């Protein structure tokens, strides 16, 4: 039986999200993270909050909280696998996000991150942060506070978006010991 063309796939409508992505009903009690199973939440707590790094690289001193991050490290650092070539130049990237940032900043010449203190603009948020902390260093503490406030605001917006996606459905959280 012949495969359906990509054109026919587009007519079917948007791809369905995986069931796990849609049912993120186990909330982390220490941050805004939500997970589709209690075991994934526990894995997150051990790796992120308890800072456990049980997955050690056999080729260097790197250690990771989750096995998938170790696998990614080995592929990128030691095996030097770069599976994401740029369609516009000869660069290749190990991660899709780095290709996306490259295309946006180099080929599209986008500078979406504007400095609030001067006319400078940057293609990446981390470069703007470095600029603020070096060029406008007198405002370092103020910038740190603004970043923290922005992080809280984004987390609150995410919670609101999640609640709007599932109106009337209660979010399950872990069992609390009595």
Residues 86 and 96 in one domain: yes
Residue 141 lies in a domain: yes
Residue 116 domain boundaries:
111-148
What is residue 85's predicted lDDT score, i.e. its pLDDT? Answer: 94
Percent of the chain at pLDDT exceeding 90? 30
Residues 116 and 90 in one domain: no
Residue 11 lies in a domain: no
Residue with tokens 């970043």: 147
Residues 68 and 103 in one domain: yes
What is residue 176's predicted lDDT score, i.e. its pLDDT? Answer: 47
Task: Work out how many domains the chain is built from and give that number.
Answer: 2
Residues 89 and 121 in one domain: no
Residues 100 and 122 in one domain: no
Average confidence (pLDDT) over 75-94: 91
Residues 103 and 116 in one domain: no
Residue 91 lies in a domain: yes
Banded pLDDT at 113 (limits 50, 70, 90): very high
Predicted confidence (pLDDT) at residue 81 exceeds the cutoff of 50: yes
Claim: this prediction has a pTM higher than 0.75: no
Predicted confidence (pLDDT) at residue 12 exceeds the cutoff of 60: no
């Amino acid at each position: 039986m012949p495969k359906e063309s990509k054109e026919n796939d587009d007519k079917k409508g948007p791809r369905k999200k995986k069931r796990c992505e849609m049912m993120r009903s186990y909330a982390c009690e220490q941050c805004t993270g939500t997970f589709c199973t209690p075991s994934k939440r526990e894995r997150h707590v051990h790796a992120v909050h308890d800072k456990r790094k049980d997955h050690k690289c056999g080729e260097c001193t790197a250690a990771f909280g989750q096995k998938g991050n170790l696998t990614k490290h080995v592929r990128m650092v030691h095996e030097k696998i770069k599976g994401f070539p740029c369609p516009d130049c000869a660069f290749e990237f190990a991660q899709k996000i780095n290709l996306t940032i490259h295309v946006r900043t180099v080929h599209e010449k986008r500078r979406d991150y504007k400095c609030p203190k001067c006319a400078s603009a940057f293609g990446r948020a981390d470069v703007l942060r470095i600029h603020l902390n070096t060029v406008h260093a007198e405002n370092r503490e103020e910038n740190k506070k603004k970043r923290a406030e922005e992080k809280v605001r984004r987390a609150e917006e995410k919670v609101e978006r999640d609640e709007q996606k599932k109106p009337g459905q209660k979010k399950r959280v872990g069992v609390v010991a009595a």
